[in-house]
Structure 1
Amino acid sequence: MVKSQFLLLHSAAIAQILLLIISIFCLYEADAQIGACYGTLGNNLPPATDVIALCNKNNIKRIRLYNPNPSVLQALKGQPNISVIVGVANEDIISIAKDPTVAKSWVQNNVLKYGNVNFRYIAVGNEISPLENEDLSIAPNVAPAMQNIYNAITAAGLGTKVKVSTALSMGVLGNSYPPSSGVFKSEIQSAFINPIVKFLAQTQSPFLVNVYPYFAYVSNPNDIRLDYALFTSGSTVVRDGQYQYQNLFDAMVDAVHAALEKVGGANVEVVVTETGWPSAGGTATTIDNAKIYNSNLIKNVQKGTPRKPGKPIEAYIFDLIDENQKSPELEKHWGVFLPNKQPKYPLTF
């Protein structure tokens, strides 16, 4: 009897230890979901080596680059703890789509050349839309370019390690309220969205989307409450059937989930490649609001959304450092850090 009680207690202790280990592991995984966008449109930015050191100092484990900047990629060599999204410039998409050898060359020069950089995703273009005049010729080439880059990555033996996608804006949705009514715009669905989602589903790659509650709020402050946009509402603001929303970020992400489900992308993961709040230059732009938004974002993404509870969201804060060569004025003030590498406000990644 005593022996059996001992065995029961021993087993219970082992179970508790295992549970603790699993909990620590899961916490680490959840904490690792937040990254930052590293834009370089500034004439007063610190050297890339200093920026990567800043990331390491502040526990920033994931960064997004908008193009394969050689100095940044060089600085990332030998930094396996930092995973990287690297972008294909919009102007390179057509040539990559038309010629597989151009895709192969792009992969060779911007990925394979930096063999010890921890590449996570390749984003073929940023916010391309068939509805924008400047994108009319580019948009039909996005999916073929993704395919050619994927083929080149696969041929190099990295097909399961480095995922290929494209970063889109919320503007591709025709409706996002309530979230369950999320749907892609009908006029771009068959020729643009469907081939992209089909590719992502086949290659088990994520749908990359830039999500800005800030812009939603300032475009409709009469109907959208500031506390709803800043994650500070203490109760449900939007009820959508069985789903209840206390913040706009979750509602926007779930609108994307709902839209994907309607076009065969129910199992496609959503990754938020840009989100943030400016500290100056526009309506409701204060350092305090920027701090509140980004601090709450970091906590919130670990919980998932009402539609995908318990599944942490991978998200990238825009921007790492203020970029003084962007316009209009509002675009210069999204950084978490100032160009002198000092934090604009306390933020724990």
Structure 2
Amino acid sequence: MRSDEQAGQEGHLSMTAVGRNALRAALEEAIDRARGGDQAAVERAGELFEEADYWIRFELNREYAGLGEPQRERVAACLVQQANDNLGLPRSVTARINALADLGPTQFPRARQLLRSASERHILGAFRRPVKAIDPAFRAAVVAEALRSLRADPGRFLPHRSGDWLLLRTDRVVDELAACGADVVEQLGTALEELAASPEIAALLRWRAAAALERIDPGAGRSAAAQLTEAGVQDPGEPGLDAGVVARVNDAWQRIEAHLQVHSPELLDRLGPPLSPQDAAICRQVLGIPDAFTASLARHRSVWLREEFDYEDIRRHLDDFFDDSWYNHGDWGDLNDLVFDDEWLESLCAYAERLEASV
């Protein structure tokens, strides 16, 4: 049994907000004691859970829910409220849906309702991966949502045919569904056939749908491609960097590097190494960075030569990109204005010309 002094100390801890970490530690300790059958600890855990902030409740939801059905119900209600309060943050909503499903079959109705709410708010792809590992009792709802996402935004979820095109894990709907059973693959095939035949979407997306269909059903995929050809729908091919823009960027950098090599070799260290092809793919395909700046990053991922086109090492931002908080609230700082400056390429070319003229 706890002494009155211990109880007083615990109450003082939470009420005076010694700190978020201290409150979390106290809740974890109460949960651990409650698991051992201490009824007073169960009550104390409930008090601390109510006093905890948004993040602590989410971080410890499974531990607290494991104490019993009343606690599971409290956690479920909390997750639903958090999801509804954050419908503008897709990743946050997805995390709450998945956490709710993790509480077990009794919470699947609530999880399905959240999926429907997310769908109504155009939050797409809100489900856990791998889909095939989801409890069968909940998987049907997830599959339905995945197929709806695919139909609603084929530009995001259809896989590209180019081998160097990066598709985020959260967008790999086709691959996820293709790994499920035959019944799901059949539903996926139907959706892809519909997309390939739809005159409402761009020709490129129709050809992507036919290619994706061929991966799961070669005969149906080839038939869809043949029908596109017969209908006069030309395959535009997967888009790449503008060759003319890339040539201008490379020419400018070659001239700058040649000048520095002869006249200011000590400044060569201010040119960073090239960005890896995968990171360049993230920049262009996921972040929407224009071709000119992407081509420059492929040559130098950071530059410290002249103010109008200097840029910090973009790798730091890419390291943060997959963190949920940065994804939802990230700040590129001054880099954002530079990256999307239409005049940036002209500034780079003009600088190369000035260097050559200064000799």
TM-score (norm 1): 0.27
The alignment's TM-score, normalised by the length of structure 2, stands at 0.27
Structure having the larger proportion of residues in strand: 1
Which is helix-richer, 1 or 2?
Answer: 2
